[in-house]
Amino acid sequence: MSAGFQAVQWNRKKIVYDAILLGCVTLFIGTFMTVGALRNPPADAPTWINLRIKAFGACAFTMLTIILMIGPLARLSPRFLPLLYNRRHFGVLTFLVALVHAYSVVDWFAVQGAMGDLMSEMTGSPDYGKFIGFPIKALGLTGLTIMFLLAATSHDFWLAFLTPRVWKALHMALYVAYGVLVMHVALGLMQEDRRVFIPLLLGGSFALVTALHIAAAWRERESAQSGEWIAVGPPASIPDKRARIVTAGGERIAVFRDGDQIGALSNVCAHQNGPIGEGCILNGLVTCPWHGYEYRLEDGCAPPPFTEKLATYRVRIRDGIVEIDPNALPPGTKAAITL
Amino acid sequence: MTRGHRSFHRLLWPVLALIVGLGFTMALVLRPPPEPPAGVESKTRVNARMPEPAK
């Protein structure tokens, strides 16, 4: 298959996903603003803007927390995979919400005629040497800049242009953005507002993201026993025309079942490193969920005239349990078995 | 995700998590004491940067 640029293909699921996402964001911000205005009715424009700053900031931080939870959740349970497929849309919307938060801060200064210039605001502060009192606007701007870079390069064009390796490394910066933004809130709002739920929510969000990553890594570590055949489970435990993903020596392996045929392939699509094991078998071919690249289960080869090949793994049945050899065979090697 | 990405991820995440966890704890412990409730409106951090109104 050609590795050329392909336009993003919209489908009904993506539209429904985006509609739900937009609905949730609107509900969050609407509820926040309404409850905030009812509890402490804003007396003037700056107070209204202040409420808007908090509403959009809280929403963006919550969205970022959820985005970082999706990866480990999907590794722990396939029920969360639908969230993974459209995570880029989630990310772009998070950047837009954060942008409104930042714009509102600028707006707050503007309506009071207290606008400084950005350069002196960022470089002229004497508080960079302090911990408590560190300029939180610099932290916020750093997080926003990283989110902008990721949102701007989220399209498949950039994945193809930058190469999957560079693109993925770049998008790992989301973790840096999250760390910076946790400190943005910890050194900002948490210092000014003594209510107990603020550190609880902030620390709880951070702890949850951390715990999920540890749990997902722990689960993969348990299933990885380098050098030995890896037990996958009874054949029936692999859903028909789907895969179970196991890990061996740091590599993920997708073990597919197509009726009574079982085969194991590298989980990394030869096109753009998509997660093959999260796809399914369509028309007798393993189909990558990202762009529909197809491979034969028996030998990991794309059907002619295409030339892509995946590494395969030896499979055997022992005591009614499917086992795979974690040592990869050369791409295109026939290795699937029939029950 | 390739082996290289995962190795980088495994290195990056714990280090970042430790730094942020430590930073969050310090920010919590070093919080200034609450202002006395003298009927003064609470100030946000943004408000605190603004000059006092002319008397």
The CA distance from A186 to A192, in Å, is 10
In chain A, what are the domains?
A: 12-222 (1.20.120), 230-338 (2.102.10.10)
Which residue of B1, B12, B50 is the best one to mutate when testing the A interface, meaning the one whose CB has the most A CBs within 10 A?
B1
Dihedral (Cα; B14, B18, B19, B24), 10-degree rounding: 130
User: Cβ(A245)–Cβ(A333) under 8 Å?
Assistant: no
Measure in Å the smallest separation between the Cα of B38 and chain A Cα atoms: 16
The 8-class DSSP code of residue A318 comes to E
> Mean pLDDT across the stretch A237-241?
91
CB atoms near residue A267 (< 10 Å): 25
Which residue of A127, A176, A187 is the best one to mutate when testing the B interface, meaning the one whose CB has the most B CBs within 10 A?
A187
| pLDDT over 60 (residue A7) | no
Q: pLDDT, tens digit, for every residue of A159-214?
A: 878 887 788 889 989 999 999 999 999 999 999 888 999 999 999 999 999 999 99
Between residues A75 and A197, which one has the greater pLDDT?
A: A197
Residues of chain A in contact with residue B27, where contact means CB-CB under 8 angstroms, are 131-132, 183, 186-187, 190-191
Q: What is the reported pLDDT for B54? A: 45
Q: Cβ separation of A168 and B5 shorter than 8 Å? A: yes
Q: Which residues of A122-159 are buried (b: 16+ CB within 10 A; e: fewer)?
A: eeeeeeeeeeebbbbbbbbbbbbebbebbbebbebeeb
Helix (H, G, I), strand (E, B) or coil at A257: strand
Between residues A262 and A289, which one has the greater pLDDT?
A: A262
| pLDDT over 60 (residue A141) | yes
Structure tokens at B52: 């006092």
| pLDDT over 90 (residue A271) | no
Q: Judging by beta carbons within 10 Å of its beta carbon (0-12, 13-18, 19+), is residue A19 exposed, middle or buried?
A: exposed
Q: What is the reported pLDDT for B53? A: 45
Q: pLDDT, tens digit, for every residue of A29-45?
A: 999 999 999 999 999 99
Q: What is the reported pLDDT for A197? A: 93
The CA distance from A253 to A329, in Å, is 12
Of A53, A108, A190, which has the smallest distance from its Cβ to B27's Cβ?
Answer: A190
Q: pLDDT, tens digit, for every residue of B32-55?
A: 887 776 654 544 545 445 444 444
> Mean pLDDT across the stretch A236-257?
87
Helix (H, G, I), strand (E, B) or coil at A9: coil
Helix axes A164-171, A173-186, angle to 10 degrees: 10
The CA distance from A159 to A258, in Å, is 31
Residues of chain B in contact with residue A213, where contact means CB-CB under 8 angstroms, are 13, 17
- With a pLDDT cut of 70, the percent of chain A lying above it is 94
Closest by Cα among A60, A68, A91, A90 to A189: A60
Q: What is the reported pLDDT for A231? A: 86
> Mean pLDDT across the stretch B3-13?
70
DSSP assignment of A291-315: T--EEETTT-BPPTT---B--EE-E
What's the pLDDT band for A296 if we cut at 50, 70, 90? Answer: very high
What's the pLDDT band for A229 if we cut at 50, 70, 90? Answer: confident
> Mean pLDDT across the stretch A212-238?
79
The 8-class DSSP code of residue A7 comes to P
What's the pLDDT band for B25 if we cut at 50, 70, 90? Answer: very high
The CA distance from B31 to A30, in Å, is 30
3-state secondary structure B28-54: HHCCCCCCCCCCCCCCCHHHHCCCCCC
CB of A42 within 8 Å of a chain B CB? The answer is no
User: Cβ(A112)–Cβ(A105) under 8 Å?
Assistant: no
Which value does ipTM take for this structure? 0.72
Indicate if the alpha-carbon torsion angle B44, B49, B54, B55 is positive or negative. Answer: positive
Residues of chain B in contact with residue A172, where contact means CB-CB under 8 angstroms, are 5, 8-9, 12
> Mean pLDDT across the stretch A275-297?
89
CA separation (Å) from A65 to A58, A134, A175, A177?
11, 23, 10, 11
Closest by Cα among A99, A79, A85 to A141: A99
CB of A200 within 8 Å of a chain B CB? The answer is no
